[in-house]
A and B are shown apart, each in its own frame.
Chain A
């Protein structure tokens, strides 16, 4: 990648060579073909490459309609979600109380597993609106936090200069912040474009007659493994294309090589001061957040006048959680949580090890990081059915999906964190003859701890989503499986209660990791004293 920062006065790195990437890609395809031909992983698991291609060719007339249906939902959701996210980011920067009031809700919407959101949306909207809404929900958060980060990336001194010349907050916003935020905004779009596709495909899993999601699920039910893989491949290509389009735009726009590579929005509003003040402020933020979420929930159910048979209020859900069905819900919860934690932990550890190897051996990284970037953008909805064909329908598949969902975004983020060490610090270590490993151990790893935690925070909801998708598609256990059962048996109270429990868990994980991250930021001094 040519986004490595080059400290001034260092000779330019040699031009990035594409051949190692091509070699690894060709190698991967070759291994795929061989594994498929020899049935190495068992019958009907990995179809050989040529079978997938010939199935794709046979299905060539089926794809355009399905792609168009999914694409329409994804694009609409992408536009609406980003419009909301960008507006909110501007509002938050101009008017801080808005952020304190709404950030909790945004975190809850991000953390809410899409699979849990779907039945809730289906209760309120027509099938098409629900799909677009889900796609919009998936894109809002990445764009919001990255745009916020960009709007705030402006030097205090730059703002002072405009102030001195008599500019007001709007001048600062227009002349400085908006421009400074551009690379970050593009980065947000780069992350959110595949997310929109994921939202649309997931929505089709749950209901509908057309689209890639429906097509994929039907092929899974028909044991047409080659078709499942083909559809997964098509979804992957679409997601990667969207990702790369924004990546190229971002490269064009970024005037300097200071452009961000991965988005790590701040954990929470930067609160400074003595410990008790930070704790008090955080508590207040959580209370306000919970209150706003509950308010928005009531507004959603009562304001839209939803049928109480399908839509449940917080009070309804509370009575279900504390009522006779409590045992069933907590049983499912108890199945989902350990698997999520295991997948998240495994994915993070593997990603950190991979990132360290990449930074120690840059040639290795040049060869494989572009592929990691692509794989990062593979929608879960595309990979989950494919992984089910390989690993079957046991608990293992849920852990594997959670690990993979965690691995790629974390890898990219931790690599960036390890690289963030100021050039002068590395120079000082090098002058004393430090080896690469010493530099890694003494400087890079500590500098990367906040990035590691940011990655954990951002992927934790994805790990839960991955587990629930797998439970719902494959194992039938846990919250994902039980929600599906409840839906089938028209137990809408259980569906809402389990959606609420899953969301509360994801939000709690997000906040806990966020607190650890804020601590690490202070401890490792990246945000000053």
Chain B
């Protein structure tokens, strides 16, 4: 199984240069505040949040429910406009990145189209963002199906899959267009621990090869530390950034990384900042 995946990802890397102009777009979030009107008054979801993510960086957002991490992700995706402050992807508005097909996304809700097969769901972004000439869509889809461990289920419909399998389809879909920015909102939430680890390792490898700028929202501190260069700890009501912790662990990281002292120490550091919040 391993060599097959390696081969598949090699194809992937080769077509990379033709799929996007350049890997990884820098993201800049400056003094962003987001308020939502409810029936009685308004709720501040994000209060004066600033983050800089360099080209090809990997940032994980962690924090308790309601700290605005998903809101921040939606703002970066251009799905919402902030009440105040500025966001840019590659020095221009997120709107532009969106319209030019530079983003990839996987939400907690797999959001698959129920009448499409697994392969057709993965293919969807390439029907919206036209792939560059010479990009082998079929090979890419096949490679991704294999990557997320759904070989043999290509023709199944979402209704026939388990929750975890649907999420894996949504992760494959996020990768298919070779986005310059990958936005992941708790995409591994419904997976069993083993699959989760395996996909963490695979995502880490793909990210290393493609150098896609990635923002990951997660509840798992281990996952955040394993994958990210920088872990951003957020606090709720109003959503603010409490701490920005750099992860000093060298790449490539693999299963062994999680057993190192370095890894445990960083996890403890993040956990301490998270719990400090609750007091």
B28-52 interface bits toward A, Cβ cutoff 8 Å, 1 = contact, 0 = none? 0000000011100000010000000
Cα–Cα distance between A378 and B221 once the two chains are bound (Å): 60
User: Known contacts A9-B70, A431-B104, A432-B124; can you find 10 more A-B pairs with CB under 8 A?
Assistant: A427-B77, A430-B98, A431-B98, A432-B125, A442-B113, A442-B127, A446-B113, A524-B114, A526-B114, A529-B157
Contacting B at CB under 8 A, from A405-451, are 422, 424-425, 427-434, 438, 442-443, 446
The A351-389 residues at the B interface (CB cut-off 8 A) are none
Closest beta carbon of chain A to B47's beta carbon, Å: 15
CA–CA, A428 and B179, complex, Å: 13
* Interface residue tally for chain A (C-beta within 8 Å): 25
Q: How far is the CB of B176 from chain A (nearest CB, A)?
A: 10
- Indicate if A523 sits at the interface (CB-CB under 8 A): yes
Complex CA–CA separation, A525 to B157 (angstroms): 8
* A contacts, CB < 8 Å to B: 9-12, 422, 424-425, 427-434, 438, 442-443, 446, 523-526, 528-529
Chain A residues with CB under 8 A of B124: 428-429, 432, 442
CA distance A525 to B80 in the complex (A): 29
Q: Which residues of chain B have C-beta atoms less than 8 A from A524's C-beta?
A: 114-115
> A428, B159: Cβ atoms under 8 Å?
no
Q: Number of B residues whose C-beta is below 8 Å from A?
A: 39
User: In angstroms, how far is the closest chain B Cβ from the Cβ of A282?
Assistant: 21
Please state if B107 and A427 are interface contacts (CB–CB under 8 Å): yes
Q: What are 30 A-B contacts defined by CB distance under 8 Å?
A: A9-B70, A9-B71, A9-B80, A11-B36, A11-B81, A424-B107, A425-B112, A427-B74, A427-B79, A427-B111, A428-B124, A429-B128, A431-B77, A431-B78, A431-B79, A431-B98, A431-B105, A431-B183, A432-B98, A432-B124, A433-B98, A434-B128, A442-B113, A442-B124, A446-B115, A525-B114, A525-B158, A528-B159, A529-B157, A529-B160
Q: Please, which residues of chain B bring their CB within 8 A of the CB of A525? A: 114-115, 157-159
Contacts A432-B101, A433-B101 given: A9-B45 contact, CB under 8 Å? Answer: yes
Contact flag A425-B113 (CB < 8 Å), given A9-B36, A431-B103, A432-B125:
yes
Chain B contacts for A433, CB-based, 8 A? 98-101, 103, 128-129
Shortest C-beta distance, A21 to chain B (Å), equals: 23
Q: Is B177 an interface residue (CB 8 A)?
A: yes
* Closest CB in chain A relative to B249 CB, distance in Å: 30
Contact A428/B107 with A434-B128, A529-B159 known, Cβ cut-off 8 Å: yes
A424 CA to B71 CA, complexed, in Å: 13
Q: How far is the CB of B161 from chain A (nearest CB, A)?
A: 8
Closest 9 CB pairs of A and B: A525-B114, A529-B159, A424-B111, A424-B109, A12-B37, A529-B160, A431-B105, A433-B99, A432-B128
Q: Bound complex: CA of A10 vs CA of B35, how far in Å?
A: 10
- Which residues of chain B (1-58) have a CB below 8 Å from chain A? 36-38, 45
Which residues of chain B are within 8 angstroms of A528 by Cβ–Cβ distance?
159
For the complex, what is the distance from the CA of A62 to the CA of B109, rounded to whole Å? 61
Q: Please give the distance in Å from B217's CB to the nearest CB on chain A.
A: 12
**Chain A residues closer than 8 Å to B159, beta-carbon distance:** 525, 528-529
Q: Which residue of A lies closest to B83 (CB)?
A: A11
Known contacts A12-B37, A446-B115, A525-B157; A430 and B79 CB within 8 A of each other? yes
> A432 near B79 (CB under 8 angstroms)?
no
A526 to B36, CA, bound (A): 31
Given contacts A430-B79, A525-B157, contact A9 B113 (CB under 8 A): no
Residues of B within 8 A of A424 (CB): 107, 109-111
Q: Are A428 and B37 in contact (CB under 8 A)?
A: no
Closest B residue to A427 using CB positions: B79
Task: Name which residue of chain A comes closest to B126, CB basis.
Answer: A432
Assembled-state Cα–Cα distance A107/B177 (Å): 50
Write the nearest CB–CB distance from B98 to chain A, whole angstroms.
5
Of B37, B78, B111, B114, most buried by chain A (CB within 10 Å of CB) is B114
Closest B residue, CB atoms, query A439: B128
Which B residues are in CB contact (< 8 Å) with A12? 36-38
Residues facing A in B120-177 (CB within 8 A) are 124-125, 127-129, 157-160, 173, 177
Q: Could you say which residues of chain B place their CB within 8 Å of the CB of A11?
A: 36-37, 80-81
Residues of B near A434 (CB, < 8 A) are: 128
The 8 Å CB contact of A10, one of B80, B113, B115, B127, is B80
Return B73 CB to nearest CB of chain A, in Å. 10
Distance of A434 Cα from B103 Cα, bound (Å): 12
Residues of B within 8 A of A438 (CB): 128
For B102, the closest partner residue in chain A by CB is A433
CB distance from A4 to the nearest CB of B (A): 15
- A433 to B112: give the CA distance in the assembly, Å: 17
Considering the chains assembled together, what is the distance between the CA atoms of A428 and B183 in angstroms? Answer: 11
A9 to B82, CA, bound (A): 11
Name the CB-closest residue of B to A520: B115
How far is it, in angstroms, between the C-alpha of A9 and the C-alpha of B101 when the chains are bound?
A: 23
Give A427 to B106 CA distance when docked, in angstroms: 10
Contact of B74 among A9, A425, A443, A526 (CB under 8 A): A9
Tell me the bound Cα distance from A138 to B196 in angstroms. 56
Using Cβ atoms and an 8 Å threshold, which residues of chain A touch B157?
A: 525, 529
Q: Which of A9, A427, A432 contacts B177 (CB 8 A)?
A: A432
